[in-house]
Every structure is written in C-alpha cells, then in structure tokens.
Amino acid sequence: MKKIVTKNPVANLIIGVLLLAAAVLTFVFEDDIVEILKFIFAGIIILYALLRFIKEIKLYKHQTARIIVGVELSLVIVIAVLLMVTDWLNIAMTLGIVIYIRGAIFLLIQNVIRRIIPLARFLLNLLFITAGSYLIFVQPDAVTFFIWFLIVLLVVFALVFIYFSVIQFKLKAKQKPKPVIETKAVKEPVKETPKEEKVTTSKYTKKALMEKSVDDLKAMCKKRGMTGYSSLRKEALVEKLWLYEHDTN
C-alpha cells in the first residue's frame, strides 16, 4: 500500500477525500452510473493490464515469455476498447475473457520457461480459466455486483490515502524543530585564589620538632621547597628545619 501513496501528506489527503466523494456519488447515483459503467470498467482493466505488463516484463528474462506478456497486454486493451464501442460485449463477458486470458497466459509462460510452480498456484490459475469460461458463456448480471465492488474499492483506497496522510502529518509535527530560547550567559564570579600563607616554623622549637616523626619532618621540608632531605635522619632533619627557620626569620 505504501507504493501507491505520495510523500506529500496534503496530496494524500486530497486524493483520499476525492476517492471518498467518488464512492458516495457512485452510491447515490447508482442508476445513472450504469450508463458509464462500461467506460469505468474498461479503464480499470487497461490500467491493471499495464501494471501487470510492467511487472512481468521485468520478471521474465526469456524472450518468448516477454512476447507472450506483450500479447496479453494487447488482447486486454483490444477487449477493453470493444467493450466501450460495441453493444454485444457486456461487462460479465469482458471480465470472463480477461480472467481466462490471465490464467491461460500464466500457464503458457511457465510451460515455455519450463519452471516448476507450486500446486496451489497451478490450481489458482485453473480456477481463473474455469471462472472466466463461466462468465463468458453464462454471462450473469454483473452490473450490480461491479457497482458495489467499485464502491468498496474506492472507500478502501480513500481510507488508505487518508490514513497515510495523518501518519505523515504526525511525523512532520514530531520532526519540527522547537524554537530555541536565547538565554543570557551568566558570568560566573571569578574565584580569587587565596594568597599563599607564609609557612613558618617559628612555633616549633628543636624539642617540638624532635617529637614529630620522620615522615612528618620530610613533609614539612617538602612544603617549604627544601632539597636534599630525603636521605637524612631525624636529627639532621630537625637541624635542617631549625636552621631554615632561623635563616628565614
């Protein structure tokens, strides 16, 4: 379904509304639409034949198979034109011929390209041929059925276009960038670095220094930027720190 809708949500919404309106008009003017029903049906089967031709011409690489696909398209177009311009060909017979051709052409192509197909698909195309033969020779009244089929088809496609339009509008709303609110930059106060306090040992006497451990004494030396203390013993460290205090004071 995604392949039939556009990327423009507005266009999808308009198409959906128009299709819905067409379904309503078809229902309201059911009796009057019978006169133009042949032309509507002919247009639908031509469009269907063209889409199938485009698909199968890409699918089959065998030259004979492609020729058969082209023949099918030509036959369907001829049948559609005859439906529009003659009185002896009705909708039921036209539908039967188109269905019969579809089933027969498919089986013929599979025979030409010698492809083994699933049994279910083989039986489906036999059903096409049987149903087509029934419509051609029995010719039931298909006008009423086709009108209601057309109404349902228009409503389904209308809802598809409107549904994807709503989704696209929601996606656009989510992707819309939010307005950026400009905020004035608040200058952070410059933190003043505290002035380094002068480290002194004026309160330490030799006795006080002797009470400290070697690690503490080395840490004090490091704080004061002293050198050559790492290998000294405690007494030497105490003397070095005391002299540092004496010299600096």
Q: Look at residue 48 and tell me if it is in a domain.
A: yes
Predicted pLDDT of residue 195 = 46
Of 53, 111, 110, 109, nearest to 77 by C-alpha is: 53
Domain termination site, one of 155, 174, 193: 174
Predicted pLDDT of residue 11 = 86
Q: If pLDDT is split at 50, 70 and 90, which confidence band does 122 have?
A: confident
* Cα(107)–Cα(133) distance, integer angstroms: 16
Predicted pLDDT of residue 197 = 40
- Backbone CA torsion sign across 130, 134, 136, 140: negative
pLDDT at 67 over 90: yes
Give the range with max mean pLDDT: 40-44, 70-74, 153-157: 70-74
Q: Look at residue 1 and tell me if it is in a domain.
A: no
Which tokens belong to 92? 């039921």
Predicted pLDDT of residue 98 = 92
Predicted pLDDT of residue 199 = 41
Q: Which are the contacts of 136, defined by CB distance < 8 A and separation ≥ 6?
A: 93, 96, 97, 100
Say if residue 92 is in the same domain as residue 213.
Answer: no
Say if residue 91 is in the same domain as residue 213.
Answer: no
Q: Please indicate whether residue 153 or residue 104 has the higher confidence score (pLDDT).
A: 104
Predicted pLDDT of residue 181 = 59
Query: In which element (H, E) is residue 180 found?
Result: none
Domain that holds residue 70: 9-174
CA angle 8, 14, 18 (to 5 degrees): 145
- Kindly report the average pLDDT of the chain as a whole number: 80
Say if residue 152 is in the same domain as residue 212.
Answer: no
pLDDT at 54 over 60: yes
* Cα(77)–Cα(75) distance, integer angstroms: 5
In 3-state terms, what secondary structure has residue 153?
helix
Q: Look at residue 101 and tell me if it is in a domain.
A: yes
Percentage, residues of the chain above pLDDT 70: 81
Q: Are 167 and 2 in contact (CB under 8 A)?
A: no
pTM recorded for the entire structure: 0.49
Q: Look at residue 187 and tell me if it is in a domain.
A: no
Predicted pLDDT of residue 3 = 62
Q: Please indicate whether residue 144 or residue 163 has the higher confidence score (pLDDT).
A: 163
Contacts of 112-120 with C-beta under 8 Å, sequence gap 24+, read: 112/62, 112/64, 112/65, 112/68, 113/60, 113/62, 113/64, 113/65
Say if residue 232 is in the same domain as residue 168.
Answer: no
Q: If pLDDT is split at 50, 70 and 90, which confidence band does 100 have?
A: very high
Predicted pLDDT of residue 72 = 92
Q: Are 113 and 65 in contact (CB under 8 A)?
A: yes
Structurally, the chain folds into a number of domains equal to 2
* Cα(109)–Cα(186) distance, integer angstroms: 78
pLDDT at 88 over 90: no
Q: Look at residue 194 and tell me if it is in a domain.
A: no
Predicted pLDDT of residue 201 = 44
Give the range with max mean pLDDT: 1-15, 21-35, 57-71, 145-159: 57-71
The string of pLDDT tens digits covering residues 167-196 is 888 888 887 665 555 555 555 555 554 444
pLDDT at 62 over 90: no
**What's the average model confidence in pLDDT over 42-66?**
88
Say if residue 125 is in the same domain as residue 215.
Answer: no
Percentage, residues of the chain above pLDDT 90: 13
Say if residue 53 is in the same domain as residue 163.
Answer: yes
Q: If pLDDT is split at 50, 70 and 90, which confidence band does 248 have?
A: low
pLDDT at 18 over 60: yes
Of 175, 102, 96, 208, nearest to 142 by C-alpha is: 96
